[in-house]
Structures are given as structure tokens and as C-alpha cells.
Chain A
Amino acid sequence: MRTVSFSDATLEAMREEMRRDDTVFLMGEDIAKQGGIFGQFKGLPDEFGYDRVRDTPISEAALVGAGVGAALTGCRPVVDMHFADFITCSMDELVNQAAKLRYMFGEQCVVPMTLRAPDGITKSAGSQHSQALESWFLHTPGLEIVVPADAEDAKGLLKAAIRSDNPTLYFEHKALFPQKGAVPDDDDFVVPIGKAKTMREGRDVAIVTYGITVGRAMEAAAALDADGIDATVVNLRTIWPLDYDAVADAVARTHRVVVAHEAVRVGGAGAEIAAWIGEHCFDDLDAPVLRLGAAHVPVPFAPVLQEAMYPKAPMIADAARRLVRRVV
């Protein structure tokens, strides 16, 4: 194992997959010469050339559409959206094309495209550069969605996404890029799509989460330890296909669940999980399922406002405590 930053972990993944398969290429805005605004593409054009690492004009519809077209015709494109918020400029290409072609053409084709989308709240980027949009695509049949929580996830899930024959959205939280973590040395190490990872096991309460909220949940769990409350933390890793079995196991073990994410709480991925728990794990529940997510407002600019409206470790710990102490 080595310790690398999240951003370097993604870079390692790109490099390994581009070496392994000539049909993998990368395109997006400000990636080739600049190396990505977080340095996550540094050095790739030097090794693979500017034909395989392409800067595009500011044309998200063409970017994603061409990604789909190239995927249909024998390539494995990695398309970088720059900010996840700009997916909105290519919704038809993603939702009506990428997600549907295989099914509606009767499985004549595959769309092995990976779409990288830096997302999430950080540094007062404001409402149009801070969103977490995975729940829109959970609602769109035909797409895979992965959300890495740490460097190991970052590398393993990106490799899996590139190797997957399905169109895969890879949501990478901007604030995670500098965060260091351990990655295995094996350059064939892949985190399988559709399997969650239990970060810690405890009997009192479960926190089911993904992405940057996993780290916040682990912080919360440490605080709960001091209160004598032992928490399970489940890192889903994949939003679709969802590892429902891992969720069910956590509920069976603890009987009390908080589902947490940074994305808006209303209609978020947590809503699907909570509803499913109510349907399938009803008799295991000793308390209602609590959901945490951002407030139903656009993300504000001023730091004091931005920090007020999404769940962090203290709020997660408080929810867990309320469940365990049977206040709710």
C-alpha cells in the first residue's frame, strides 16, 4: 500500500487504463494543457499525446454526444465535465442517448463511456458550481453511478468505470482531491461496481452514506465512541446498482439507521434507500429511518451561509444519538 492524494489516485487510474487499452482516450475542457484545475490530468499528454488527451471547446453537448458516438464505435472515451453542474448542458446526450441506446436498439450496441464529474460544496464556489446531482441519474434507467469516498475508491472505481461496458458516471467531490489515502500497489486493483464497503462495524446504529460524507460519518462515529455508542458506517461506493444487501445487513445488525449525503435531502438518493429499508427491513427497525442531506435551497456563496446548510460530522452524530437514545 502507498499513500497518495485522491487526485493522484485518479491520475494513476487514468494512466494505467490508457496503457492497458489503446481505445481509452480522454477529452474535456481545460484538461490537456492545464492538466485539470485540480492537477488530476497532469502529465498525461506527455505520455499519450494530444490526440488521446484532448481539450475541447466549451461545447458540453458535443463533448458528451461525441463521447457516446465514440463509445458506440469501438472506443472507451473518458469525458470530463469540469464541474458536474455542467451536465445540465448535455442532458439529452446523457439521458436520451447514452442511457437508452443499448436498450432501445435491442442490445445491438454498448456505450462504454465514462463521464467524470467533479461535484460538491467547497470554497464558496456558489450555487452553479457546488451541486451533487447523482439522484437525477439514479432516476434514469441505463446509467451506472459511482461515488468514491477516498483515494482507494477513487482509483479502484475509476478503473472499474473505464472497464465497464455500461455508461458510467463518476462523481468526484472537489474537496476530496487533496485528501491523502492508502491505495494498493497492484495496478490491476479494481473496486467492483455495485458492492458497498463497511468501513466499521458497530451494533448500536448504522450510518449509510457515500462520497465525502463517508469521512464525515467516520468522524461522527469517533465522537459517538466517546459516548459509548458503537456505529456501523457503510460506504455504498456505487449509487447504481445499489448494494441493497449491504444496507439490509446494516439494518439487521443495528436496528437504527441514518442515511446521509451532501446532496439535497428531498428526493435524494437517501430517499430511495430509506423507502427501501421501510419496505424490506421493516421488522428490523426499532426506530424510524432518518435522512440527512443539504437543505432545499441553492448553495449560497458566503462561507457562513454555505457551511450552514449541509450535514457534517456533528449533525450526523446527533442524529445517531437521537436514534440510540430513543428520542425519535
Chain B
Amino acid sequence: MAQALSAPAGARRDLGAALLRTMIRIRVLEEGIEKHFLAGEIPGFAHLSIGQEAVAAGTCANLRPDDAIASTHRGHGHTLAKGTSMRGMVAELFARSTGVCKGKGGSMHIADFSVGMLGANGVVAGGFGLVAGAALSAVQRKTDQVAVCFFGDGATNRGPFHENLNLCAVWNLPAIFVLENNRYASTTSTAETMKIADVATRADGYGMPSTIVDGFDAFAVHDAIAHAVARARSGGGPTFVECKTYRARGHYIGDPERYRQKSEVQGVMDASDPIVRMQGVLGDALSAAEFDAMWSTAREELADAVAFARSSPSPERDEAFFGAYVGDRDARDPVHGIETRERDAFAPFAPDVGPGSQGGAH
């Protein structure tokens, strides 16, 4: 319940309002996904980022559409903050052909290359290489694009974390590593899985500059990232930004959360809900009406997205067999013939799976 000493004004106030709007949109989306998942309208798994909104909002506010981000299985907030439409996201989760990935990716593999979102990754630490590559690509093509990798504390114990931080540091690549340290990797706390309290010290081991910020404070995240982006765009190399944050929900929707106490969760959110924080910081600079309007607009946006998703068709069954190879929809391509024959072999046996018939709690 931090209070600003004095309400921000001018551009800073506008920035704060924009950050708040993004966080509220993320919150509304995530709560909506939770509700629709439990109602059985979303197949597969879903991992909510409620409580972590400030990191997504604060980071993406610094990025251009042609800057790249790589996200994680807990990526709805990053995706929305980077500029993907709620309609495209909800339709994807509802497994419709109008989803951003045509229904082939789902929550864990949601992507939007039109806004530089290189995909949520179902493999923990899967994004490091992609971001190192995107940063390397900018150097090869001589642009000032940057690449941002979102990841959690669990990913920092995997090999690719170390290999890619080292590579980006030694090659001086325009990459920014944004750690959402929410203290738990699935069901294991950071205290159980590493000897250090601040993961940012690992960046020291690779000679990479780092900073640690309060991940509930959208302004703090924004400012730290702004600094890192400036460094990267000017050829100064990579930065490691550790955001101390927390997730208010379980690892996945349906997680019984045996690894932490409800009182802990409640306590953290009471003290640190990033939306409440920003509202407090903006103080009088944000009227109640404006605040309420942010919520109602977000809810309308969600309702529209859900209606859009529900009325969208499921993908055509034949779509299962195409799309793995460039050219595979072209009759002259060798792969096309192979995939067509497979489609034909399966055609008589496909079961009926309609919309909404899958997706119980996991």
C-alpha cells in the first residue's frame, strides 16, 4: 500500500495510466480465462499470471512492434501487453480456427509474429536461444531491434539459461533477460532449488550487467527496462533484470497448491497487488471514473472476445495434416503429396470432437 509522495504529472502520469490500463486488461483476461477454463470451454492446460501484471506491462511499454519477445507457458500477460488482440488470444485458447495460431498452439504455444511475439514456449527455458538468435539476427541485419526474454526462476537452473547468457554477454548482443522471480517453480520454492537469494548474481558470473526491481511496481519495472533497452539499442550489449514478484494463483488452473499456504498468498496480494499499487501511486491524478472505466472497458473487451471465440468455427479436420513445412500446401511440393496421403488415410476414422467438449481441470 505504497503511496506516492506526490502524484505524477504530465507524461509520467499518462505512462502510469497506460500501464494501469494494460495491467487491468491482463487481470480481466486472466480471470476470464480462469472462469472459462473451469467451465470446460478451454482444452489443455492454462497457467495464470495474476499478480505478475506489472512485469509484462512495464516491460512491453518500452518495446516497438518490431522488437522481439519470447515468453513462457505463463505468457498471456506478455502476449496481450505486446499488442495481440484479446479476440485472437481467446479464440486460440478456445481452439478455434480464428485464434492467432489457428487453434494449433493453445495457451502454452500462443504466438503473434505480427507484433514480435515469438511465442510462449512449453519447454521451460525454451526462450533463451530464440532471444539470443533474435538479437544476433538484429546484429547481422544491422538494425537496432532488441530482443527480450521473459522467464521464471525455475528456468534459471536449466542449461540453456547459462549457455545463452554467456553467449549474449561474450557476443555483446542486444538482448534483455527479464526474470519474473515469483518464488516458485511449479511446486518447488526458490529456497529449495538454489543456494542464492538473488538470481541476478548469476548474471555477474557471465559478465552481464544486472539490476533487481520490485516486480509489483510497474513504474520500477518500466524504468529498469527502459535503461536496458537504451543500452541494447546503442550497442551496449545485454542486461539482466530480476523482478521480484508473485503469482496469486497456482502453477496451473486446478493446482491444489500444497506447497504454500493460502495465508501467504493472501498476504502478498493484500500488500502488493500491482493494480492497487499503481492506483495508489497515481492517487488523485487518476479519477475514480477513469479507473472504473478502465475496468468496464476491459470487461467489454473480454466479453466481445469470448463471444467472438464462441461463434468462431473449429479448425477443419484436414488442417491437422498441413502446416508443418513451407510449401506443403503446394501440389508441386514433395511434402504435399505425403501429407495428403496421410490425411486421406485418416479421413474415415476421425472421431467427432466438437467445440467445448474438452478441457477439464488439470
Which A residues lie at the B interface, using CB under 8 A? 22-23, 25, 51-52, 54, 56-57, 59-62, 64-75, 77, 92-93, 96-97, 99, 101-110, 141-142, 144, 164-166, 193-195, 238, 241-244
Chain A contacts for B224, CB-based, 8 A: none
Query: A105 touching B119 by the CB < 8 A rule?
Result: yes
Q: Is B324 an interface residue (CB 8 A)?
A: yes
From B102, B133, B323, B327, residue with most partner A Cβ within 10 Å: B133
Chain A contacts for B323, CB-based, 8 A: 102-103, 106-107
- A238 to B333 CA separation, bound complex (whole angstroms): 14
Query: B140 touching A243 by the CB < 8 A rule?
Result: no
Contacts known (A72-B134, A73-B138); A93 close to B129, Cβ less than 8 A: yes
- Interface segment, one of B163-171, B235-243, B253-261: B163-171
Chain A contacts for B48, CB-based, 8 A: none
Query: B129 touching A69 by the CB < 8 A rule?
Result: yes
Contact with A along B105-124 (1 / 0, CB 8 A): 10001011110001101110
Chain A contacts for B17, CB-based, 8 A: none
Query: B132 touching A65 by the CB < 8 A rule?
Result: yes
Determine how close the nearest CB of chain B comes to the CB of A18; give it in whole angstroms. Answer: 12
Contacts known (A65-B164, A108-B113); A71 close to B133, Cβ less than 8 A: yes
Chain B contacts for A108, CB-based, 8 A: 100-101, 111-114
Q: Is B360 an interface residue (CB 8 A)?
A: no
Report the 4 A-B pairs with minimum CB-CB distance, sorted nearest first. Answer: A65-B129, A69-B133, A194-B334, A106-B102
Query: A67 touching B163 by the CB < 8 A rule?
Result: no
- A2 to B102 CA separation, bound complex (whole angstroms): 49
Which B residues lie at the A interface, using CB under 8 A? 68, 70, 99-105, 109, 111-114, 118-119, 121-123, 126, 128-141, 145, 147, 159-160, 163-164, 166-167, 170-171, 323-327, 333-335, 338
Query: B140 touching A62 by the CB < 8 A rule?
Result: no
Query: B104 touching A106 by the CB < 8 A rule?
Result: yes
From A73, A93, A107, A142, residue with most partner B Cβ within 10 Å: A73
User: B141's contact among A75, A110, A142, by CB below 8 Å, is which?
Assistant: A75
User: A144's contact among B128, B136, B325, by CB below 8 Å, is which?
Assistant: B325
Query: B140 touching A106 by the CB < 8 A rule?
Result: no
Determine how close the nearest CB of chain A comes to the CB of B131; give it in whole angstroms. Answer: 6
From B167, B333, B334, B335, residue with most partner A Cβ within 10 Å: B334
Chain A contacts for B132, CB-based, 8 A: 62, 65-66, 69
Q: List 30 A-B contacts (CB under 8 A).
A: A25-B140, A54-B171, A59-B164, A62-B163, A62-B166, A65-B132, A67-B129, A67-B133, A69-B134, A69-B137, A72-B134, A73-B68, A73-B118, A74-B141, A92-B126, A96-B126, A97-B121, A97-B123, A101-B111, A101-B119, A102-B323, A102-B324, A102-B326, A106-B101, A106-B103, A106-B105, A106-B323, A108-B113, A144-B325, A242-B338
- A23 to B133 CA separation, bound complex (whole angstroms): 13
Query: B167 touching A66 by the CB < 8 A rule?
Result: yes
Query: B326 touching A110 by the CB < 8 A rule?
Result: yes
Chain B contacts for A105, CB-based, 8 A: 101, 104-105, 109, 111, 113, 119
